[in-house]
Amino acid sequence: MVSFSSDQRFIVTGASSGIGRGVALLLNELGATVIGIARNQKRLEAMKAKAKYPEHVFLEQKDLAEDMEGLPAYVKALKDKYGKFSGMAYCAGSVPIQPLAATDYNALLETLNINYIAPVLAAKGVADKRNNIGAGTSMVFISSASSLISDKGHLTYAGSKAALCASVRSMAKEYAKNRIRMNCILPTNIKTEKSPQEYIDSQIASYPMGFGEPIDVANLAAFLLSSEASWITGQNYILDCASF
């Protein structure tokens, strides 16, 4: 059974809503200490208010798409504040819907920044031996099934998530000798507090078991972060119910 102790600290980005919120709450419930990062302080505090062990939840308000070059140093500053990390769940992201005709350099860069460049540079910070516990450190990155089967208008989104999957495989090979693991989760549709009902209604017929919930992603993330998954690295896990 997956469980953690409070001296196991995990960074959870995107902890203010949706999947990241679900991951933060489950890791905390399973005993871990969570450092939850997002821009919206109110929503971060609302997440903490739901935590089973709020004394083991710490909040950091931060725009991860700002000062991208400083992200590894930001992770080190968090380590100096809280102690060495057992890992990270990178759940922050944005889902722009843009046809090619509406896509330009800045739009591409904006999506790549939060969905691809920030997770890689945050991983660089966590993988730095000064900042982690060494063997057993584990990171999970929320990619998307769109990286494999992308829909119309998802060109920047799908590209950013495919890039993330590819880089995580490479980083995992680099760090396997250190027993530092990195895996991606590729969910299909997950119903969050932000999912528009019209969108759910338009897609639900393809989902024989209904949309997923943040807890479904959180359960897989917690397993991959735990010692139960100590022989799993460099993998891309599709999380789905036979929708494609």
Ligand X SMILES: NC(=O)c1ccc[n+]([C@@H]2O[C@H](COP(=O)([O-])OP(=O)(O)OC[C@H]3O[C@@H](n4cnc5c(N)ncnc54)[C@H](OP(=O)(O)O)[C@@H]3O)[C@@H](O)[C@H]2O)c1
Residues that bind ligand X (CB under 6 A): 14, 16-20, 38-40, 43, 63-65, 91-95, 114, 142, 144, 187, 189-190, 192, 194
Q: How far is the CB of 41 from ligand X (least distance, A)?
A: 8
Q: How far is the CB of 77 from ligand X (least distance, A)?
A: 16
Cβ proximity to ligand X, 172 vs 239, nearer residue = 239
* 4 contacts 226 by C-beta, under 8 angstroms: yes
- Structure tokens given for 42: 């109110």
Could you tell me the CA-to-CA distances from 6 to 29, 56, 91 in Å, in that order?
Answer: 10, 7, 21
Q: What angle do CA 27, 30, 33 make, to 5 degrees?
A: 55
Cβ proximity to ligand X, 43 vs 84, nearer residue = 43
Cβ proximity to ligand X, 1 vs 205, nearer residue = 205
Classify each residue of 211-233 as buried b or exposed e, where b means 16 or more C-beta atoms within 10 Å of its C-beta.
bbebebbbbbbbebbbeebeeeb
Cβ proximity to ligand X, 178 vs 203, nearer residue = 203
Cβ proximity to ligand X, 14 vs 125, nearer residue = 14
Q: Is 210 left (phi over 0), alpha (psi -120 to 50) or beta?
A: left
Q: How far is the CB of 102 from ligand X (least distance, A)?
A: 19
Q: What is the largest CA-CA distance in the chain?
A: 50
Q: How far is the CB of 160 from ligand X (least distance, A)?
A: 9
* 121 contacts 71 by C-beta, under 8 angstroms: yes
Q: How far is the CB of 144 from ligand X (least distance, A)?
A: 4
